[in-house]
């Protein structure tokens, strides 16, 4: 089988070497397409691929249609909004992600962003400490749970909400369950967002929730920019000079926000939550193993389009 690694933003060399080893030891062939300039280069490269590993590369209907031999595509990472799942299903292509593999990297960044904002972006101004403050975690999945554990270790009180988990599961993960979003936002000095971008979550966090936050609160977003209602965010920051927003997924209106609100708003120049060599290696190797296992045994444990 031909396994194509198509990465506009390549994996670290050590990850590529590991992927190659796993694929070739299982008797398959590895083909690399890195730093491609145009989406059309990606479309051209998939013609004879049986499997594809991608990072944030866009697996569109055009890609799936051009890949006549394609059986499986794996997104090395957690979020999978770059995969057209309906197109995969229509062409009998199994689509997977590699949940959990880069969670620690994202969780460490979320904690770092909280401290960065509490210490006024490392300017000499008097900041505040996160110890003793309340952190509300919106979605208690792989990243959310790790953020909670790290925050608790730093002396924060941790609350969480997740509509797909029972309160007991949140307690077992070390957090206090919040009754609803109003309570989570209304009682948390920091809210850290870890929901996926879905039709239900897109644009779901905006003015109303932000206005409920306690004085001096900070909203931390390492999930997806689309979950924020940017006009609502701007309005809330305008009306509440004590609120702050920090993101690893820059809003489209970042320039306006920074001009208007200065040190109260920060976004990483490029999404970097999963950009650690450890996460790179973990997610890349997991993607390779999932493909090898799928061809050997038909294992579809991490299939997204079941």
List of residues contacting ligand NAD (CB under 6 A): 77-79, 99, 102-103, 106, 139-144, 162-164, 194-198, 200-201, 222-224, 248, 271, 273-274
Give whichever of 134 and 222 is closer to ligand NAD, judged by the CB atom: 222
Give whichever of 40 and 198 is closer to ligand NAD, judged by the CB atom: 198
- Closest contact distance (angstroms) between CB of 275 and ligand NAD is 7
- Closest contact distance (angstroms) between CB of 40 and ligand NAD is 26
Question: What are the structure tokens assigned to 185, written together?
Answer: 């936002």
Contacts with 51 (C-beta within 8 Å, 6 or more apart), sequence order: 1, 2, 3, 4, 28, 70, 71, 72, 73, 74, 291, 294, 295
Question: What are the structure tokens assigned to 41, written together?
Answer: 């280069």
Give whichever of 159 and 194 is closer to ligand NAD, judged by the CB atom: 194
Give whichever of 144 and 284 is closer to ligand NAD, judged by the CB atom: 144
Closest CB to ligand NAD: residue number: 141
Give whichever of 66 and 202 is closer to ligand NAD, judged by the CB atom: 202
- Closest contact distance (angstroms) between CB of 197 and ligand NAD is 6
- Closest contact distance (angstroms) between CB of 240 and ligand NAD is 24
- Closest contact distance (angstroms) between CB of 33 and ligand NAD is 22
Give whichever of 162 and 234 is closer to ligand NAD, judged by the CB atom: 162
- Closest contact distance (angstroms) between CB of 162 and ligand NAD is 5
- Closest contact distance (angstroms) between CB of 195 and ligand NAD is 4
Give whichever of 45 and 289 is closer to ligand NAD, judged by the CB atom: 289
């Amino acid at each position: 089988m031909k396994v194509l690694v198509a990465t506009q933003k390549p994996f670290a060399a050590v990850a590529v070497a590991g992927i190659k080893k796993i694929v070739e030891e299982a008797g398959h062939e590895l083909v690399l397409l890195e730093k491609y300039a145009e989406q059309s280069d990606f479309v051209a490269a998939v013609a004879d691929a049986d499997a594809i590993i991608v990072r944030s590369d866009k697996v569109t209907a055009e890609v799936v249609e051009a890949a006549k031999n394609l059986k499986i595509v794996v997104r090395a990472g957690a979020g999978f909004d770059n995969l057209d799942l309906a197109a995969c299903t229509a062409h009998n292509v199994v689509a997977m992600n590699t949940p959990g593999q880069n969670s620690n990297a994202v969780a460490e960044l979320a904690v770092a962003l909280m401290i960065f904002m509490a210490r006024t972006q490392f300017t000499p101004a008097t900041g505040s400490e996160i110890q003793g403050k309340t952190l509300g975690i919106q979605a208690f999945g792989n990243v959310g749970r790790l953020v909670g554990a790290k925050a608790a270790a730093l002396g924060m009180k941790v609350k969480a909400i997740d509509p797909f988990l029972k309160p007991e599961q949140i307690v077992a993960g070390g957090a206090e369950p919040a009754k609803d979003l109003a309570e989570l936002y209304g009682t948390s000095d920091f809210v850290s967002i870890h929901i996926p971008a879905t039709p239900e979550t897109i644009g779901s966090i905006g003015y109303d929730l932000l206005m409920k936050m306690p004085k001096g609160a900070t909203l931390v977003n390492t999930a997806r920019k689309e979950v924020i209602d940017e006009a609502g965010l701007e309005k809330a920051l305008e009306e509440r000079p004590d609120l702050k927003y920090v993101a690893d997924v820059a809003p489209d209106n970042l320039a306006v926000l920074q001009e208007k609100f200065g040190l109260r708003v920060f976004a990483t120049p490029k999404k970097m939550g999963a950009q650690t060599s450890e996460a790179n290696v973990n997610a890349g190797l997991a993607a390779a193993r999932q493909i090898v296992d799928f061809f050997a045994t038909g294992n579809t444990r991490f299939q997204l389009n079941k």
